[in-house]
Structure 1
Amino acid sequence: MLQIFQPTTFRALSRNFSLSVARRAFHQQASRPLRSSAKPLVVGCALTVSALLAFQTTVHLDAALSEKSDETIDPATSIAFPNTLHITSKVPVPNFTLLGVGVRTVSFLGIRVYSVGFYADLDDPKLNVPKSASPDEKIEHIVRNSACVLRIMPTRNTSYSHLRDGFVRAIQARLQLCRKRQQLSSDEEFGVQSPFRKFKSMFPSTPLIKHTPLDILVTAPEPGQPRNLIVRDLGSVQNDWLAREFILAYFEGDGISPPLKKAVVEKLQDFGR
């Protein structure tokens, strides 16, 4: 497992980190009443409609069967997240376990912006989460010591730049908080500036269609190598502080998505060794 985090692997993973999302949409049209004088046409239309209905019924059943039991639905948005996330890549990466989902809302109107799922490599033998730790301590331990993924699923059509603005605000707030807590050395603060600028520049101003997943992966720590923060299809940056704190920002206090924080806390209550 550890060899996947060598520098060459980082670059290959950044280039090939991609997931495919399948969608199906079916539309029915109402037919106008036909005159009784056109009996052959009526018979033909009836057969055609019957065939279409049979086809649609078959497709509907196929769709129902594909609703796997290993998915978790965000109750606020009805968006589904796989309980096990398989990342398509030319280099081996771990399977990620879903720890919770939740909706991100903004403004006093409670507009739902996106659903988010938090995944981690719980099969990493080096993880060793203490069972006696508090849920918040378990979250921090997992983020600091294993590969993690945040899957962002917009609830409506948006843009990469709009999501970027939210991410940037979260990182800036995290910088201020770490300064206040004296958890950010001058060297760390200086070292994060260039990766932070690169992170901001990775996001284009192009649209992002609703329900399209945007996966943000943080690689596991490796001695002598900075952790990678990889944004699917857009690029990556290397910086331990930025990679770690980007994920931790989602769990500070009530969290960027309080339902996500609550779900992960509940999941981790009895987790550990």
Structure 2
Amino acid sequence: MRAARCLPSTPLLRSLTTSSRLSFTPARLQCLQKHPSPVQCRTFMRGQRPSSGRAVENINIGRMRNESHDFHVRRRNFLLCGAIAGVIATCYTAYLLSIALRKPKKLDSGLPGKADPFTTDAGSKRKTVLHDAQGREIVPTGNSTVPTFPRLIETGIGAEAGQEEVNGVEYTLVGLGVRTVTFLGFQVYMVGYYIATQDIAALQSRLVKEINPIATTLISSEKDALRQALLDPEQGEKLWNSILQDVRPRSLFRIIPVRDTDFHHLRDGFVRAITARSQGNNAEFGDESFGLAMKDFRSLFNRGKVPKSREMLLCRDSAGRLTVTYDDGKTGMGSIGRVNDERISRLLWLNYLAGKQVASEPARTNIVEGIMEFVERPIGTVATQVI
């Protein structure tokens, strides 16, 4: 008897209708129950048919190659960015360390709020004086391009007969500040006001007598009155005008550009300031000699560029003569001319010291604070003490 051939699996068998099941023989049903897989059963004379439901895995070699390449590219870029960031961080740290090592050490010259043996009140603020690598005393400016100003300057300009002709004149820093232009506050140059050390006593006496005619030094309330007078537009200009005309202390302004400029730009600013202060007073400034002096002053600045960090000195001697010196970076500091009319230097000095509008308000305020340090000490003692 021939064995019956198996039919599809049990689930398929279940889907069959009852009528179709009845057409199967008992032997065929028994075969379906024993072999639930979709393969057919072996018959007596026929071998098993090959299965057509074998699972086949589809592998895309090109896609795998592209994914591997993209992964390695991303990995390389990530490592490269990390290496570059590490090099930049190392270089920046080394730069900061070099700045810190070259930074001058601070000299304890008296701290705000502490008593000072040369002052009359314990709350006087002192200038912070530093020492550079050569041991010179310097004062911080707060500007990154021109970080410090020397506390003392020695020059032969303004020297009088005697020992000064050999050693030169020593000038002491009174105050400093930055000159800005436009409402955006573009910085043009740093300016510092210096007075000949030997002439400070005469300036002290004039300022002290202005507040208290019988005093040799000022107390706190008197200092406040003098500070208010110096900052007042009218009183300050009147007081400084009398000092520059009567006392005539030898002094100078040290100008250091913080950005590249030129002589014509500086000249235009100086000329505008002098012209504005001379207007309205034809009795003093309306003569022909003043016009010739202005012409000579303009001719001093018929030059080219002034790179940043170049030093310029505007010096006023005891006769009021103005001498301009400049360091061109090649031949060193040298004179570029002189104007003998004292009115030119006086008006130029007032442009920084007093009035409603000054060239640099921070400089004027700092100069006034420096003056307060003078008048709080006995007359004649400032020249022998550290400011």
What TM-score bracket applies, with the shorter chain setting the length? 0.5 to 0.7
Say whether the 8 Å CA contact 2:145–2:258 is kept in structure 1: no
Task: Check 1:254–1:100 CA distance in 2 against 1; reply closer, same or farther (3 A cut).
Answer: farther
Task: Check 1:186–1:228 CA distance in 2 against 1; reply closer, same or farther (3 A cut).
Answer: closer
Answering whether residue 381 of structure 2 is matched by residue 268 of structure 1, we say: no
The answer to which structure, 1 or 2, has the higher relative contact order (CA under 8 A, 6+ apart) is: 1
Say whether the 8 Å CA contact 2:195–2:249 is kept in structure 1: yes
Q: Which one has the largest radius of gyration?
A: 2
Equivalent AA in structure 2 for residue 83 of structure 1 = R
Which residue is equivalent to 1:74? Answer: 141
Say whether the 8 Å CA contact 1:120–1:142 is kept in structure 2: no
Task: Check 1:140–1:187 CA distance in 2 against 1; reply closer, same or farther (3 A cut).
Answer: closer
Say whether the 8 Å CA contact 1:114–1:152 is kept in structure 2: yes
Say whether the 8 Å CA contact 1:158–1:209 is kept in structure 2: yes
Counterpart mapping for 1:2-151 below 5 A: 65-66=132-133, 68=135, 70-77=137-144, 79=146, 80-87=148-155, 91-92=165-166, 93-124=168-199, 126-127=202-203, 128-131=205-208, 133=210, 134-135=226-227, 136=230, 139-140=240-241, 142-144=243-245, 145-151=248-254
SS in 2 for 1:212: coil
Which residue is equivalent to 2:259? Answer: 156
Counterpart-to-counterpart distance in 1, 2:240 and 2:133: 32
Equivalent AA in structure 2 for residue 193 of structure 1 = G
Say whether the 8 Å CA contact 2:156–2:169 is kept in structure 1: no
Task: Check 1:191–1:123 CA distance in 2 against 1; reply closer, same or farther (3 A cut).
Answer: same
Say whether the 8 Å CA contact 2:251–2:317 is kept in structure 1: yes
Say whether the 8 Å CA contact 1:131–1:271 is kept in structure 2: no
Offset from partner CA, 1:196-231 (integer Å, 9 cap, x none): 10110111331111011110001113xxxxx31111
Counterpart mapping for 1:137-216 below 5 A: 139-140=240-241, 142-144=243-245, 145-176=248-279, 179=280, 182=281, 185-186=283-284, 189-216=287-314
Q: TM-score, normalised by structure 1?
A: 0.67
Q: Percent identical across equivalent pairs?
A: 27
Counterpart-to-counterpart distance in 1, 2:266 and 2:207: 34
Aligned length: 210
Shift of 1:191: 2.4
Offset from partner CA, 1:65-95 (integer Å, 9 cap, x none): 5275621122245522111111156945421
Say whether the 8 Å CA contact 1:195–1:239 is kept in structure 2: yes
Which residue is equivalent to 1:10? Answer: none
Residue ranges of structure 2 left out of the alignment (5+ in a row): 1-93, 106-131, 160-164, 211-225, 231-235, 326-334, 380-387
Counterpart-to-counterpart distance in 2, 1:198 and 1:173: 18
Greater Cα shift, 62-71 or 141-150: 62-71
Which residue is equivalent to 1:249? Answer: 351
Shift of 1:242: 1.2
Counterpart-to-counterpart distance in 2, 1:62 and 1:108: 33
SS in 1 for 2:288: helix
Counterpart mapping for 1:212-231 below 5 A: 212-221=310-319, 227-231=320-324
Greater Cα shift, 186-195 or 61-70: 61-70
Equivalent AA in structure 2 for residue 70 of structure 1 = E
Q: TM-score, normalised by structure 2?
A: 0.48
Which residue is equivalent to 2:122? Answer: none
Say whether the 8 Å CA contact 1:84–1:97 is kept in structure 2: yes
Shift of 1:249: 1.5
Greater Cα shift, 240-249 or 126-135: 126-135
Counterpart-to-counterpart distance in 2, 1:131 and 1:268: 10
Say whether the 8 Å CA contact 1:115–1:155 is kept in structure 2: yes
Counterpart-to-counterpart distance in 2, 1:76 and 1:105: 13
Q: How large is the Cα RMSD of the aligned pairs?
A: 3.2
Residue ranges of structure 1 left out of the alignment (5+ in a row): 1-52, 222-226
Which residue is equivalent to 1:237? Answer: 339
